[in-house]
Amino acid sequence: MSNQSHTTPPLHDCVQAHLEAYFDTLGDDAEASQIWNMVMQCVEKATLEKVMEKSQFNQSKAAEMLGITRNTLRKKLISYQIIN
């Protein structure tokens, strides 16, 4: 068994690295638009998917983990087509 500890980079660093890569693919002359909405939707959907997985799709537990009401969670899950 290894005594080495695995450290995960802070979430901020991961997001920043991916945003840098995204802008690099656009190039200097390309114009980005609706960045805020794009990032928020991507992050929100990925977060919802991961929390639902971690909570074994228990909506009450997932809502508690996220700090939102179960009704709000359900609306978001439906809007992202994570549930029907």
Of 82, 10, 14, 26, which Cα lies nearest the Cα of 34?
26
Structural domains in the chain (count): 1
Decide if 72 is inside a domain: yes
Single-letter code of the amino acid located at 65: M
Decide if 64 is inside a domain: yes
Decide if 70 is inside a domain: yes
Per-residue pLDDT of the chain (84 residues; tens, 9 = 90+): 545 567 888 999 999 999 999 889 988 777 778 888 988 999 999 999 999 999 999 999 999 999 999 999 999 999 999 998
What is the residue range of 71's domain?
35-47+58-83
Total-model pTM? 0.77
